[in-house]
Amino acid sequence: MSFQQGLSGLNASSQNLDVIGHNIANANTTGMKASRAEFAELYASSLGSTGGVSKGLGVEVQTISQQFTQGNISVTGNSLDVAINGNGFFQLQLTDGSTAYGRDGAFKLNKSGEIITNDGAHLLGLTAAADGTIPTGGAIGPLTLPTGGEIPAVATSAITLGFNLDASAAVATGGPPPAALVPVLQTYGTSITTYNAQGAEIPVSMYFTKTAANTWDVYASVNGGTVTKQGTLTYDVNGNPISPSLTSLTLPTATGGTVTATLDVNGSTQYGSKFAVNTATQNGQAPGTLTAITIDTSGIVQGTYSNGKALAAGQIQLATFTNVQGLAPIGSNFWRATPSSGDPSAKGVPGSGNLGSLRAGALEDSNVDLTKELVNMMTAQRAYQANAQTIKTQDQVMSTLVNLR
């Protein structure tokens, strides 16, 4: 007599219970994917055997497959929590330098400004240029916010102004500034804050005085200091500036230096309406420290700094596989590629192709259905008991044979 069938059933049921227990234990693990035991029957075969069906040798666990269905997305409000809605995996560089993949988006920021997981693995993506632009087709690497969460001061080198000068304004009288003018110099004036190389603010005031039809003199001063003429603006009969127009500013400062910047006023007009400033921008900035991080649906990681500057640090890149069930789980919510999974079939921007989009301030829950697992556990328990009963019956039959007289 053979106990093989019952023993194989006990072994298979025990492994099934192990899988179910693992699923239940990780019901609250972020990004966890449930597994299931898949069984196959066992038969003995021999050379020269005729047709027919063997009584069979029992059962085996053929494989334990992972179920990569979408988990629920729970809102957390943490700006560094990121959930993938759809296909794809985060690409991660482990502490040993190897590459892994994961769905757990509970990221952190270390003291160096690097975006990492709880285990210290670095999130990979495209690093932005100094001006915040994202390169296309570049090599991916660890995403890091600039210089540990700080950005340096930048001296102003370009100013852009858009404004309308009143075409019906009277020609000013009284001589050039600082002589008394009618109307006064400040009637058509605006100001803009610029920065030196150390990030110190330098207020620049600009004034426009009509000297003839369609012609305006431009004056400027730094921080309320000496007013100096910078040039002349002329407009055509349609109220548009005639090129070339005023193109630069050079202003003395109280400390003996100068503010020098290109000036773009091609967006100005001279229409028969009140003086108004529509645009006043410059490219300088004070130094800033990181105050907030945002991540959009396409994976762009953007830092907001104390100087009001918002600057992209990089863009998260996702990866997907043709055979995701071939990925090998290695713990800590990571998977590794294997010959079965192959290399990633696609890498790219979240939301492109068949890659899912990102949801910041949220995490993907485990896809374990706890009710289903508890039912499966009861079924596996009954199967274990039934297989134990076949062994008990075999033992009783053998005992009967042994005791025959």
pLDDT of residue 103: 96
Q: What is the pLDDT of residues 217-246, one digit of tens each?
A: 999 988 888 888 888 999 999 999 997 667
pLDDT of residue 208: 94
Is the model's pLDDT at 189 over the cut of 90?
yes
Q: Tally the residues of the chain.
A: 405
Q: What percent of the chain has pLDDT over 90?
A: 62
Q: What's the average model confidence in pLDDT over 346-361?
A: 93
Instruction: Give the pLDDT band of residue 49 (cuts 50, 70, 90).
Output: low
Closest CA to 7 of 53, 54, 57, 49: 57
Class of domain 158-282: mainly beta
Q: Which helix (H) or strand (E) holds 395?
A: helix 370-402
Is the model's pLDDT at 178 over the cut of 90?
no
Q: Are 156 and 107 in contact (CB under 8 A)?
A: no
Q: What is the pTM (predicted TM-score) of this model? A: 0.75
pLDDT of residue 397: 87
Indicate the average pLDDT of the chain.
90
Is the model's pLDDT at 112 over the cut of 90?
no
Say which DSSP state 30 is in: T
Phi, psi of 341 (to 5 degrees): -80, -30
Asked whether the bond before 203 is cis by omega within 30 degrees of 0, the reply is: no
Task: Please report, for the chain, the start and end positions of each structural domain, with discontinuous segments joined by +.
Answer: 4-69+366-402, 74-149+288-364, 158-282
Instruction: Give the pLDDT band of residue 47 (cuts 50, 70, 90).
Output: low
Q: Are 117 and 92 in contact (CB under 8 A)?
A: yes
pLDDT of residue 249: 85
pLDDT of residue 63: 93
Q: What's the average model confidence in pLDDT over 146-166?
A: 86
Lowest mean pLDDT among 19-33, 175-189, 197-211, 364-378: 175-189
CA atoms within 13 A on the CB side of 205: 14
pLDDT of residue 48: 52
